[in-house]
């Protein structure tokens, strides 16, 4: 690695480190820990395999620990349900799966409260949850909708430069990969990765046997998303 590249990453790291402290109070729910960062996997009802891609979150947390100034609370996967008391301890939720997503009215209300109070949801379609996820999200925020995030969005250059936007990990229906966002009062509160399958790219190498370049693209995207959440 040349000196220019080293200095570029050092500069980004130092800048990010200072921004994390500035954003800590604003970027997480009121009850969340201000010390260490943790993503929690969302356990949802409806019969979908909310537990899929079991190695993706531990690998992401390890990547965060190794590549960024963020202090990872744990490299092990943490799971939470919307009605758990611990929900507000986590600034970011991750959900994925291949099947049905269904939320009770109490869960719909709780998810809205969580997002309004500073939380963030990353939903990653593992091929099969698209229709039901969009339906349930519309119950949470009926007054707004998902919109495509343009390549110039800060998400795509806040840590790594991703000029082509969302990486394509697996083909699915051979549609272009998208990052769709939902805004509430001007703040991005949900990112939905569709036709991309980032979670597959974060899994252990032996699971899908994806090329290293593909897995690296998934990791860079996920780290960018975490960076964006913690600094906005």
pLDDT of residue 28: 38
Q: What is the pTM of this model?
A: 0.85
Quickly count: other Cβ atoms within 10 Å of residue 74's Cβ.
13
* Residues counted in the chain: 232
**Measured distance CA(231)–CA(95) in Å, rounded:** 21
Give residue 228's pLDDT: 97
Instruction: Give dist(CA 84, CA 185) in Å, integer.
Output: 26
Q: What is the pLDDT of residue 76?
A: 92
| φ, ψ (nearest 5 deg) of residue 44 | -120, 165
Distance (Å, whole) CA 89 – CA 112: 16
In this prediction, residue 35 carries a pLDDT of 57
Identify how many contiguous H helices and E strands the chain contains and give both numbers: 7, 7
Q: What is the pLDDT along the chain (232 residues), one digit of tens a residue?
A: 443 433 344 334 434 444 443 343 333 343 333 458 999 999 999 999 999 999 999 999 999 999 999 998 989 999 999 999 999 999 999 999 999 999 999 999 999 999 999 999 999 999 999 999 999 999 999 999 999 999 999 999 999 999 999 999 988 788 999 999 999 999 999 999 999 999 999 999 998 899 999 999 999 999 999 999 999 8
d(CA 137, CA 184): 13
CA atoms within 13 A on the CB side of 170: 15
Domains of the chain: 3-231 (3.40.50.12140)
């Amino acid at each position: 690695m040349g000196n220019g590249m080293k200095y570029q990453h050092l500069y980004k790291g130092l800048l990010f480190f200072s921004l994390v402290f500035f954003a800590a109070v604003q970027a997480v729910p009121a009850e969340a820990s201000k010390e260490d960062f943790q993503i929690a996997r969302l356990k949802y009802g409806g019969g979908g395999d909310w537990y899929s891609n079991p190695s993706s979150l531990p690998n992401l947390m390890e990547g965060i620990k190794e590549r960024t100034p963020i202090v990872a609370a744990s490299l092990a996967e943490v799971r939470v349900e919307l009605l758990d008391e611990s929900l507000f301890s986590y600034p970011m939720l991750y959900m994925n799966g291949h099947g049905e997503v269904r939320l009770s009215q109490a869960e719909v209300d709780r998810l809205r409260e969580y997002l309004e109070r500073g939380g963030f949801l990353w939903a990653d379609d593992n091929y099969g949850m698209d229709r039901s996820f969009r339906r349930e999200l519309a119950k949470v925020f009926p007054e707004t909708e998902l919109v495509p995030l343009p390549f110039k969005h800060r998400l795509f250059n806040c840590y790594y430069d991703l000029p082509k936007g969302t990486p394509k990990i697996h083909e699915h229906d051979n549609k272009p990969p998208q990052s769709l966002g939902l805004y509430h009062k001007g703040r991005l509160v949900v990112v939905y990765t569709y036709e991309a399958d980032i979670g597959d790219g974060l899994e252990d190498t032996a699971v899908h046997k994806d090329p290293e370049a593909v897995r690296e693209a998934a990791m860079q995207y996920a780290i960018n998303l975490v960076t964006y959440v913690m600094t906005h």
